[in-house]
Amino acid sequence: MIRITVFFIGGIVLAIYQPGIFSGKAIFLSATILAFLFFVITGRKSELFSFWAGIIGLATIFFLGYARLQGQMVTRHADHLSKVTGHVGFFEAVVRSMPQEKAKSWKIEVELIRVKTTDDSITNSHWHPATGKMLLYIAKNNVPEINLRYGDRIILNGSPQPINPPANPGEFDFKRFLSFKNITHQLFIKPTDYVRLPAREPKGMIYYANEARKWSLQKLAEFIPGKNEQAVASALVLGVTDAIDDDTISAYAASGALHVLAVSGMHVGIIYAIILFLFKPAEKFRGSKWVVALVSLVLLWSFAFITGLSPSVLRAVAMFSFVALARPFGIRTNIYNTLATSAFVLLLYNPYLIMSVGFQLSYLAVFGIVYLQQPIYHLWEIKNRIGDWIWQMTCISIAAQLATFVLSLLYFHQFPTYFLVSNLFVIPLSTLVLLAGMAMLAISFITPVAIVMGWAVGWLVRILNGIVFATESLPFSLINNIHISIFQCWLLFVILIALILLVQFRKIQWLYLSFLVSVVFLITTWFHFSQEVNQKQWISYAIKGHQAMEFIDRGHSYFIADSSLVADHDQIRFHIQPNRLIHGIASVHTDIPFQKMVKGVYYLRWDNRWQARIISRDHLLPTNINMEMLIVGHQALSKKELNGLLIKQIFFDGSNSDFYVQSMSSQITSQSKIFTSGKKNAFIQ
């Protein structure tokens, strides 16, 4: 199963990055399968036959993975929303998620049924069947809650828009991320722009799972005192992190405990371990292993049900379901084959899971614990029971961290230095919160007992948060702003694997390999430093409604932005911080030494070139000014001022309205001046 899963993943990855490389894939796949069957039926059992049968069989699995991913691409369907011609004015859709509350809107995932197109004539409008998924944002407009549930059918007024690719360098590719969920469009509407239809889809398993999670959230909020305690408990028990504030998230990340806030493999593993512990006395009875396996499956999937059957929990439950089913077979089973089988089944169901960060980290962590925990544990024998337990917990943390830290550097650009210390307290306390929270939900119908349990959960969360914040406050608790490329990520994996094999097999060849790859890694780091860090750059970021410019000089940043953006740390982290990581920014300055203001005009001399910048109509711009570029923000330039301007290039940043930029563009180009806009994409010099 390890070989089969690896080749199946190879086909999936090829289809993701090279979707059109096999135009006749169906014919090729059929020929491969027929050749394999021919070898099986007519071949004689020999070493040569086994070799070629294995090669053709694995090739078949490879192309099955390729074909499975191709079949999952809904954009290939003829009636997909992206292929609808004409202007979409109305459409009918089905709600496919619980409404998620945002700062100014409700976010819902919907699936299209049909669309109504029009060519601006009501008599010519008609309905078309359509497929596709999209994100729907409904403005709050003082609406405290929207009455939409999974499976509701709605009619909407609006035209879905394709999700835009990243506008700034290094920015998270939200479009690509959603494409792995087959979500390609989005729409922003007001509460009056949709109508819920009386008819709805039959209530299926996912509907009832969402209702169970909604009920569980209400019970946690009812019995646990304190908003922050309720938010953390909801994350630990149900995996719902929407209500956790940014400071708490940052503290958990800095202490290396962020993984406990996402219900996944650790939580499911804890539940499974407790089930095995409770049923340990029954092992002496005949057939007890199958009883334990059956009970484990029921309890694990019940837990997945009350968490709303979220993807992360489903992955973990599916993984441990295979472990539970394999256990009754005894010594004939292999844990690596079991893990590979669970991964194969999950990818067969949804091949896009291979691109999920949670999927990658979950399987790496479990593999690391299975492969590394025991060898590390045997390095030190502690006869004291408490000391032995602490050492076991430490070994688990080290094994999981070794297996996942490379991907953590790639995706999260940070490394918590005190993860060993924090996890000694965080894992046991989060386990208690998980178990106490589930027990509270189970006895919630007994109000007095539930109140006491809720109070206990609240205090456990307070202690847990106190430890996390204390760990964050320690000096050098977090090494952040780490930048590595995907190629460097693979190099680090090779170095790590070579060092592990060196310790295991005591062969000098593995040391040579790790040294050689380390040299390659250093060369790529030097190349990145010379090409990106040791350079000067001027960039105007494309952030809707905001002005944001950065002058980068060999690791130093001089940042100009409006006050509302400076105070919005989420926008800074999403749009601007990725480019700072790429360029190795060590310090950010808001005082600009090479800028001066005269009569409402900001003059900047950067890289031996002069620029002028205006941000309000209250300015006096000389007509005889001779500069490289005029930077315009907040509709500050009038059409009358264009006459006589010697400036050849006029740049409009993201703070200008679309209508204003469009109206100015034609007049600027008619005067033979260079028109440049940084509204849709960042402008870099």
Kindly tell me the burial class for residue 65, based on how many C-beta atoms sit within 10 Å of its own C-beta (0-12, 13-18, 19 or more).
buried
Average pLDDT, the chain: 84
Mean pLDDT check: name the lowest of 33-37, 499-503, 645-649.
33-37
CB atoms within 10 A of CB 78: 6
Q: What is the CATH number of domain 81-202?
A: 2.40.50
Q: So what's the pLDDT on residue 514? A: 92
Q: Is the pTM of this model over 0.85?
A: no
Nearest to 250 by CA among 490, 581, 573: 573
The stretches of 307-418 forming alpha helices (DSSP H) are 311-326, 335-349, 357-377, 385-412
pLDDT class of 40 with cuts at 50, 70, 90: low
Q: Where are the domains of the chain?
A: 2-72, 81-202, 209-479, 486-533, 537-684
Taking 90 as the threshold, does the pLDDT of residue 495 lie above it? yes
d(CA 158, CA 147): 20
pLDDT class of 517 with cuts at 50, 70, 90: very high
At 462, the amino acid letter reads: R
Q: So what's the pLDDT on residue 520? A: 95
Task: Compute, in degrees rounded to 10, the torsion defined by CA atoms 208, 211, 213, 217.
Answer: -170
Rg (CA), the chain: 29
* Most confident option among 340-349, 465-474, 485-494, 616-625: 485-494
The pLDDT tens digits of the residues spanning 655-669 come to 888 888 888 888 887
d(CA 224, CA 231): 10
The pLDDT tens digits of the residues spanning 531-540 come to 888 888 899 9
Kindly tell me the burial class for residue 98, based on how many C-beta atoms sit within 10 Å of its own C-beta (0-12, 13-18, 19 or more).
buried
d(CA 185, CA 208): 27
d(CA 172, CA 661): 26
Q: What is the 3-state secondary structure (H, E, C) of 353-370?
A: HHHCHHHHHHHHHHHHHH
* Residue 107, beta-bridge partner list: 100, 137
d(CA 655, CA 223): 46
Q: What is the CATH number of domain 537-684?
A: 3.60.15.10
